Amino acid sequence: MTLQGKTGLITGASRGIGRAIALAFAREGANVAVIYAGSQQAAQHVCAQAAEYGVQARAYQCDVADFDQVKETVQAVQKDLGGVDILVNNAGITRDGLVYTMKEADFDAVLDTNLKGAFHLIKHCYPIFVKKRAGKIINISSVSGLMGNGGQANYSASKAGLIGLTKSVARELAGRGICCNAIAPGFIDTDMTAKIDKDDNQLVGMIPLKRMGRPEDVANLAVFLAGSGADYITGEVIRVDGGLAM
């Protein structure tokens, strides 16, 4: 129970990687705030599963791209669960296309959710962490942010931006005992990658460990980064990609 008595706020926790992180945190004894955009039932189900570990779990609908909604949500989590010790910026979307045909709205939507959303959460949790002189921030980036990806200029830019945000926040808050790190997953089997053929030999052939990742592969690292075992790690970007981007 490495996170006993802590409270984790996880965005995009109704499905996929965020869901796995919320459940792993609950298993380790943390109360969890499950933030979602539209999947209310799924979010409630995650809360019910988390509560089976004997922790408090609450779902909050919040568009992370909306500054005021994030402010209100962080206030609600603080009131309901007594604070925030671990923030996981995981909510993310794709609007893929070649730059030539990409609509401005699709570029903006991806940046607003994936990058600005993380800024909103960090900004509104900042005073909570600073007051406690403790806190862990984990941003879910992507190998696309490290390597780039044709057809994903908006997504890759948002994920590369998250790395700059991570390192800047890490430097800004290190003196207050707050750590900020990023995880860069490779191909993880979730709704986001549902269109990818998991038996595609070409895809699997690019991955040295010869399989797509599972949400739990990412959650295991998030648990480590959230716990005291990672107290001397900040500003780091760690890949969970089966060796894809090494």
Residue 152 DSSP label? B
Applying CB under 6 A, among 22, 24, 57, 65 the residue interacting with ligand NDP is 65
Site map 108..147 versus ligand NDP, x via CB under 6 A: -----xx-------------------------x-x-----
Residues 6+ apart with CB under 8 A from 30: 3, 4, 5, 6, 7, 8, 55, 85, 86, 226
* Count of positions (residues) in the chain: 246
**Quick check: is 155 catalytic?**
yes
Of 135, 229, 133, 227, which Cα lies nearest the Cα of 179?
135
Applying CB under 6 A, among 3, 6, 14, 46 the residue interacting with ligand NDP is 14
User: HSE-up of 175 (CA within 13 Å, CB side)?
Assistant: 3
Burial degree of 140 (CB within 10 A; 0-12, 13-18, 19+):
buried
According to the binding rule CB under 6 A, does residue 188 interact with ligand NDP?
yes
Applying CB under 6 A, among 6, 10, 18, 78 the residue interacting with ligand NDP is 18
Q: Looking at beta carbons only, is 173 or 188 nearer to ligand NDP?
A: 188
Applying CB under 6 A, among 46, 50, 81, 92 the residue interacting with ligand NDP is 92
Number of residues that bind ligand NDP (CB under 6 A): 32
Site map 193..212 versus ligand NDP, x via CB under 6 A: x-------------------
DSSP-derived 3-state class of residue 14: coil
**Contact assessment for residue 213 and residue 192, using Cβ atoms and an 8 Å cutoff:** no
Sheet hosting strand 31-36, strand order edge to edge:
57-61, 31-36, 7-11, 86-89, 135-140, 178-185, 237-240
According to the binding rule CB under 6 A, does residue 39 interact with ligand NDP?
yes
Q: Looking at beta carbons only, is 5 or 243 nearer to ligand NDP?
A: 243
- Active-site residues: which are they? 155
Per CB under 6 A, residues contacting ligand NDP are: 11-12, 14-18, 35-39, 42, 62-65, 90-93, 113-114, 140, 142, 185, 187-188, 190-193
